[in-house]
Chains A and B, each alone.
Chain A
């Protein structure tokens, strides 16, 4: 049974609209991460969290907000979606060493 799940798995959004990507983990891990993947750029860290109700900025936080309401849940919010935010988004949880990735969300902004 998958320990890190993401919803939705794919989404088409309009420019300027609000998008919320959700992540749920059953690993009992304190650390959770949001990455975006684009061809040629690998995985880039957007936001991460090491405890509920607290989030940290990653390397490319501009245009994104994050929310960690509980240990199990971590959301990524795009308040005003833009064309440049079209990408695949991965959530991961970690025991401090290994990152366990979810299946990804393919986001297309039109």
Chain B
């Protein structure tokens, strides 16, 4: 069962453009929504996260937009740089048991 759906599977944008990665979920008990990035040959690492009490979270060029009613959240990467090229995973955590469910990932390529 895939409780967190991520799209697109791959995305290519030009340097300087805004990349938009999307996720949706089904379980209303999810209470924490992080995004992780993974560079080739490395481990995933936390990029940015949001809790449902907010509908927006910014950290530099990275912004999460959260829509609780539609059970959707997205990651916007402004002014994309070639160094942002990586695989990005959205995730959701169940309230109470700390179980994490990851999306299938979006492979992002930034062309210079």
Interface residues of A (CB under 8 A from B): 31, 33, 35, 40-45, 48, 50, 56, 58-59, 90, 94, 96-99, 101-104
**Chain B interface main SS type:** strand
Known contacts A99-B100, A101-B45; 7 further A-B pairs (Cβ under 8 A): A40-B9, A40-B104, A45-B99, A58-B99, A59-B1, A90-B43, A101-B43
A59-B1, A97-B32, A98-B34 given as contacts; is B102 within 8 A of A43 (CB)?
yes
Is B100 within 8 A of A33, CB to CB?
yes
Do the beta carbons of A41 and B104 come within 8 Å of each other? yes
User: Hey, which chain A residues are within 8 Å of B102, CB to CB?
Assistant: 35, 42-45
**Contact pick for B104, options A42, A90, A96, A97, CB 8 Å:** A42
Judging by beta carbons under 8 Å apart, are B32 and A42 in contact?
Answer: no
Q: B49, B93, B99, B103 — which one has the most chain A CB atoms within 10 A of its CB?
A: B99
The count of chain B contact residues (Cβ–Cβ below 8 Å) is 22
CB neighbours of A96 from chain B (8 A): 98
B interface residues with partner A (beta carbon < 8 Å): 1, 6, 9, 32, 34, 36, 43-46, 49, 89, 93, 97-105
Given contacts A97-B49, A99-B46, A101-B44, contact A31 B104 (CB under 8 A): no
How many A-B pairs have beta carbons closer than 8 Å: the answer is 52
Instruction: Name A's interface SS.
Output: strand
B105: chain A residues at CB < 8 Å are 42
Residues in B whose Cβ lies below 8 Å from that of A31: 98
- Whether A56 contacts B97 by the Cβ 8 Å rule is yes
Contacts of A90 in B (CB 8 A): 43-44
For the complex, give the distance between the alpha carbons of A44 and B103 in Å.
Answer: 9
Closest to B105 in A: A42
Inside 8 A of A104's CB, which chain B residues have their CB? Answer: 43
Q: List 23 A-B contacts (CB under 8 A).
A: A40-B104, A42-B102, A43-B44, A45-B99, A45-B101, A45-B102, A48-B98, A48-B99, A50-B97, A56-B97, A56-B99, A58-B99, A94-B100, A96-B98, A99-B34, A99-B36, A99-B46, A99-B100, A101-B43, A101-B45, A102-B43, A103-B43, A104-B43
